[in-house]
Chain A
Amino acid sequence: MPTRIVVDPITRIEGHLRIEVVLEGNKITDALSSGTLFRGIEKIVENRDPRDVWAFVQRICGVCTHIHAIASVRAVEDALDYRIPKNANYIRNIMTLTQFVQDHVIHFYHLHGFDWIDVVSALKADPAQTSALAQSISGWPLSSAGYFRDVQTKVKTLVESGQLGIFANAYWGHPAYRLPPEANLMGVAHYLEALNWQKEIAKVHAVFGGKNPHPNYLVGGMASAININGNNTINIERLNLVKTKIEEAQTFVDQVLMPDILAIANFYKKDLYGGGVRNYLAYGGVPTVDVRNPDSYLFPGGIVLDRDLSKVYDIDLKDPKHIQEFVTHSWYRYDDPQAGLHPWQGRTEAQYDGPKPPYENLDENKRYSWIKTPRWQGKPMEVGPLARFIIGYARGNQRMRTLVDDALKKLDLPLSALFSTLGRTLARALETKYSVDHLAGFHADLVANIKAGDSAVFNPDKWDPSTWPATAQGVGYCEAPRGALAHWIKINKGKVESYQAVVPTTWNASPRDAQGQIGPYEASLLDTPLANPDQPLELLRTIHSFDPCLACATHLLNREGEEMLNLRVI
């Protein structure tokens, strides 16, 4: 008899996500992804000053902190045809890539790590052999046997205290863990090191934005004035601080993250499940020159359909036929419930008709999520690092191609291996490397531009709303750590008339659409096996490979249920 398994909460993500799957034997035959949180921020920003909105919508997410603010100020700037100074573009790029590097490292070790690394197995490791392993793959200095023994003792002390804290009740010893104890111990050591390191790179945001999480932004540029001879502005001390943190990040990524991902992937390279939908989308982002010039983007945009890398389609965010959001299976009201609305025509009107809490399970034939269903020309799309690398590869970006080809060669895997849970995780690591390699360059560009006599960070021309047209509409887009992100704004008499955000996890975690097509999370679970249905480690691994961000959400539960189905909440 098929079993319905519910996992809720899905932990080690941002927000509240619930996953329900139908299991026949060890095979998942159906899946449902539900975001279980709604806040209504798009409604809250209506009638507000468009220059304020970045601060509201930045609070869509504190993990991908900063990127929603970028999308928002760009939406306003697009609506008003408001140009920003060169320095502001460099600073925004430095902050964006800083965020990519910081967020991807946290994801790999702290959110995704326990899907690959068995902490309890690390207790059985020989620290001398861990040291030999570490030194064979990297020149990172924290690699002596004594160092790994100390880490092991720390974990042992915790375990033997009987108070396991964050390690309690996990799936330790599960057959889907494939690393030897020595590699597990190295992974645990780097989990702890990454926890200490991530706060350092965040300092770059504090320099330009005053704080992290949630640094400050400004429509028309940036607020952090540059005066190289000032003592209360961006001066050489501030620029040196940024440079030092970039150099530390470069070392950490080169000597810890990259060797780790290749070493770990080598043990998991037969686990190539989790491919999901076959379409990939990126808007493109990080403009080296200007956001109006897509040829200057570090990350190329486009669409790849059905995994066919021979053709890349262009995307038009302003064309009402390209991007539409459906609510057929979401708890929102449209006049025509089957319609797909372009975000400029979009609506956010909550209308819950799901089960009354506490509830046991949701019904995929009804409405089951607070997440809407975005589609590109009617098709579900995966977004994120894998999508960006597939599109970059197909567009012929040489640096991206080299990164992919080299990694796959080291792992002895074909290009098609990318279309998997492991491929998604590998692509995120390659993107970390791609991002950190460009950080020093943007810092150098900023310094060179200041040296050339340009210290402007803000353009005052259109700050005053009296200079604006009576009505205007714009779209601000970028690549966020988790994928393509865009905000659509309509301005009327200096106030926000309507606002819609379509975030990466909306694409990836979307429920079924009007045609019944399942979303990327749901599709990726269909070929994910479960060795032990009581411990759905592989399910978590696949879902985590997308890096869910649910101020977007899902939970795993397993329960006794309807006649047809044995329901279990895990």
Chain B
Amino acid sequence: MGKQGGVKLPSSDSFYRWARSKGVTRRDFLKFCTLAAAMLGLDAAAVPKIVQALETKPRMPVIYLNLQECTCCGESFLRSAHPLVADLILNMISLDYMEPLMAAAGEQAEAAKAKTMKDYNGKYLLVVEGSPTLGDGGIYCTIGGKTATSILEEAAAGAAAVIAYGSCATNACVQGAYPNPTQAVPVRRVVTTKPVIDVPGCPPIAEVITGTIVHYLTFDKIPELTNQGRPRAFYEHRVHDGCNRRAFFDAGQFVESFDDEGAKQGWCLYKMGCKGPTTYNACAVTQWNDGVSYPIKSGHPCIGCSENNFFDNTPFYTHLADIPNGAIGFNPDKVGVGALGVAGVGVLAHAAATGAIKGREKEEKKGS
């Protein structure tokens, strides 16, 4: 548990103190401030304020890469209600590179990234949305003529820590599903020398990613992680554990067909293929879109989007025990019928099912 938890990262000195420690003279520092003001089209009166700002503790620089992805994670990031994303990006961090939001484009955008990588070497946080792709020399995703994989390697080299944000980054998600035509791989496969925090989900809940970033800002260290490398605060428990339909599972009251009488009573979706019992995520607790709902609450089974290879753990609408992997020797149809009204039997049954599934995941890990 928490094997990477509590790793201490370099403390954030002011830019000025750090620059001096690297041998930059005060004269050069002041020149830099003057140039920065000129670049912004500001008059000389602004220079002392920039000097003062750089002499005090800077906002943490963040480089956010978009590799092979669909930008659902970036959209989820924008939905953050606490903190509000505007407060986060204007007052708490310095979002120096993020293609979907940044004003600059092309070479000027790349220059902004290069500057942060140089000026804050070893001190910036790298957030990666999307998967690197290894197929055919990386030609399936290029940015500025360079492969996504080489861009990731470069940006990770000087990062204090790396957040693999979303299931593309943690498990290659949909493009990594069979037959994985582009050889999409998780960020961990490429970044091996830095702490990598996995924040899975397709996408993750807004407050989970902003919470992970703010944890790092506030406590100067990365959060404690589960044995799968995910922040414990959000991924320690299964969706099933906190599900608002859990009582119906325990009582053996299941939806048997969409929109049937059980569905209209809000019963358990396990037999409709719900992956809540094998999915570690905060959906049932934190919920989505500022606490409005989550998939099960809105009547659709969980598809397990924060778990590795979830797009191959299909068909979605077949319950776990019947997914033809041969890993589970138990059929909830039979248990369900027998268990109606007998609270407790269902609990044992699902514990057995979950144990079997976890065993299978371990096997897959060994094999990969």
Please pick, from B42, B70, B142, the residue contacting A60 in the complex, using a CB distance under 8 A. B70
Q: Residue B238 at the A interface, CB < 8 A?
A: no
A463 with B101: CB separation less than 8 A: no
Contact with B along A198-228 (1 / 0, CB 8 A): 1100110111111111101010111111110
B150 with A212: CB separation less than 8 A: no
Q: Residue A16 at the B interface, CB < 8 A?
A: yes
Given that A59-B72, A232-B265 are known contacts, is A9 also in contact with B105, CB under 8 Å in the complex? yes
Given that A232-B245, A352-B139, A458-B259 are known contacts, is A160 also in contact with B264, CB under 8 Å in the complex? no
The residue in chain B whose Cβ has the minimal distance to the Cβ of A36 is B142
In the bound assembly, the distance between CA atoms of A201 and B293 in angstroms comes to 14
Please name all residues of chain A whose beta carbon is closer than 8 Å to the beta carbon of B76 when the two chains form the complex. 62, 213
In the bound assembly, the distance between CA atoms of A168 and B76 in angstroms comes to 23
In the bound assembly, the distance between CA atoms of A551 and B298 in angstroms comes to 28
List CB contacts (< 8 Å) of A36-56 with chain B.
36-41, 43-44, 48-49, 51-52, 55-56
Contact with A along B99-111 (1 / 0, CB 8 A): 1111111111111
Please name all residues of chain B whose beta carbon is closer than 8 Å to the beta carbon of A70 when the two chains form the complex. none
Given that A165-B94, A166-B95, A551-B71 are known contacts, is A7 also in contact with B105, CB under 8 Å in the complex? yes
A233 with B299: CB separation less than 8 A: yes
Q: Would you give the shortest CB distance from A382 to chain B, in whole angstroms?
A: 22
In the bound assembly, the distance between CA atoms of A110 and B151 in angstroms comes to 25
Q: Residue A278 at the B interface, CB < 8 A?
A: no
Please name all residues of chain B whose beta carbon is closer than 8 Å to the beta carbon of A40 when the two chains form the complex. 175, 181-182
A12 with B36: CB separation less than 8 A: no
Q: Would you give the shortest CB distance from A63 to chain B, in whole angstroms?
A: 5
Among A268-276, A355-363, A400-408, A411-419, the one that faces the other chain is A355-363
In the bound assembly, the distance between CA atoms of A63 and B76 in angstroms comes to 9
Q: Residue B360 at the A interface, CB < 8 A?
A: no
The residue in chain A whose Cβ has the minimal distance to the Cβ of B175 is A39
Please name all residues of chain B whose beta carbon is closer than 8 Å to the beta carbon of A160 when the two chains form the complex. 46, 49-50, 53
Among A140-148, A312-320, A372-380, A553-561, the one that faces the other chain is A553-561
A231 with B266: CB separation less than 8 A: yes
Q: Residue B147 at the A interface, CB < 8 A?
A: yes
Please pick, from A6, A12, A163, A227, the residue contacting B58 in the complex, using a CB distance under 8 A. A163
A56 with B107: CB separation less than 8 A: no
B139 with A41: CB separation less than 8 A: no
B315 with A56: CB separation less than 8 A: no
In the bound assembly, the distance between CA atoms of A169 and B107 in angstroms comes to 10
Q: Residue A164 at the B interface, CB < 8 A?
A: yes
Please name all residues of chain B whose beta carbon is closer than 8 Å to the beta carbon of A111 when the two chains form the complex. 100
Q: Residue A365 at the B interface, CB < 8 A?
A: no
Given that A61-B71, A62-B73, A557-B106 are known contacts, is A214 also in contact with B41, CB under 8 Å in the complex? no
B109 with A39: CB separation less than 8 A: no
Given that A111-B100, A218-B258, A225-B299 are known contacts, is A570 also in contact with B106, CB under 8 Å in the complex? yes
Range of interface residues on A (Cβ < 8 Å): 35 or more
A165 with B138: CB separation less than 8 A: no
Q: Would you give the shortest CB distance from A550 to chain B, in whole angstroms?
A: 9
Q: Would you give the shortest CB distance from A168 to chain B, in whole angstroms?
A: 5
B146 with A357: CB separation less than 8 A: yes
Contact with A along B11-34 (1 / 0, CB 8 A): 000010000000000000000010
Please name all residues of chain A whose beta carbon is closer than 8 Å to the beta carbon of B263 when the two chains form the complex. 223, 225, 233
Q: Residue B143 at the A interface, CB < 8 A?
A: yes
Total A-B Cβ pairs within 8 A = 370
Contact with A along B252-271 (1 / 0, CB 8 A): 00000111100111100000
Q: Residue B169 at the A interface, CB < 8 A?
A: no
In the bound assembly, the distance between CA atoms of A411 and B136 in angstroms comes to 52
Contact with A along B208-232 (1 / 0, CB 8 A): 0000000000000000000000000
Q: Residue B342 at the A interface, CB < 8 A?
A: no
Range of interface residues on B (Cβ < 8 Å): 35 or more
Please name all residues of chain A whose beta carbon is closer than 8 Å to the beta carbon of B245 when the two chains form the complex. 232
B145 with A8: CB separation less than 8 A: yes
In the bound assembly, the distance between CA atoms of A166 and B150 in angstroms comes to 23
A44 with B109: CB separation less than 8 A: no
A59 with B174: CB separation less than 8 A: yes
A210 with B89: CB separation less than 8 A: no
Max count, chain B CB within 10 A of own CB: residue among A39, A196, A241: A39
A49 with B315: CB separation less than 8 A: yes
The residue in chain B whose Cβ has the minimal distance to the Cβ of A550 is B71
In the bound assembly, the distance between CA atoms of A226 and B261 in angstroms comes to 11
A170 with B108: CB separation less than 8 A: yes
Q: Residue A73 at the B interface, CB < 8 A?
A: no
Given that A241-B292, A357-B146 are known contacts, is A223 also in contact with B105, CB under 8 Å in the complex? no
A455 with B264: CB separation less than 8 A: yes
In the bound assembly, the distance between CA atoms of A63 and B267 in angstroms comes to 32
In the bound assembly, the distance between CA atoms of A165 and B137 in angstroms comes to 32
Q: Residue B330 at the A interface, CB < 8 A?
A: no
Q: Residue A175 at the B interface, CB < 8 A?
A: no
In the bound assembly, the distance between CA atoms of A56 and B173 in angstroms comes to 9
Please name all residues of chain A whose beta carbon is closer than 8 Å to the beta carbon of B258 when the two chains form the complex. 218, 220-221, 223, 225, 458, 460, 463
In the bound assembly, the distance between CA atoms of A52 and B312 in angstroms comes to 11
Please pick, from A165, A199, A535, the residue contacting B89 in the complex, using a CB distance under 8 A. A165
Please name all residues of chain B whose beta carbon is closer than 8 Å to the beta carbon of A199 when the two chains form the complex. 78-81, 85, 206, 289-290
Q: Would you give the shortest CB distance from B211 to chain A, in whole angstroms?
A: 15
Q: Would you give the shortest CB distance from A227 to chain B, in whole angstroms?
A: 4
B70 with A59: CB separation less than 8 A: yes
A12 with B105: CB separation less than 8 A: yes
Query: Which residue numbers of A lie inside 8 Å of B, CB to CB?
Result: 6-16, 18, 36-41, 43-44, 48-49, 51-52, 55-56, 59-63, 65, 106, 110-111, 114, 119-120, 123, 154, 158-173, 192, 195-196, 198-199, 202-203, 205-214, 216, 218, 220-227, 230-233, 241, 350, 352, 354-361, 370, 455-458, 460, 463, 535-536, 540, 551, 555-558, 569-570
List 28 contacting pairs A-B, 8 Å CB cutoff, sorted by A: A9-B110, A16-B141, A44-B179, A52-B316, A59-B202, A62-B70, A110-B78, A120-B40, A120-B41, A161-B58, A162-B15, A163-B94, A165-B90, A166-B98, A166-B101, A169-B112, A195-B85, A203-B290, A206-B292, A211-B294, A223-B263, A223-B299, A223-B300, A354-B139, A357-B137, A357-B138, A357-B147, A556-B105
Given A40-B175, A196-B84, 4 extra CB contacts under 8 A:
A11-B105, A16-B66, A16-B143, A357-B147
Q: Which 7 A-B residue pairs are closest in the complex by CB-CB distance? A: A62-B72, A232-B266, A556-B106, A210-B295, A170-B103, A40-B181, A210-B298
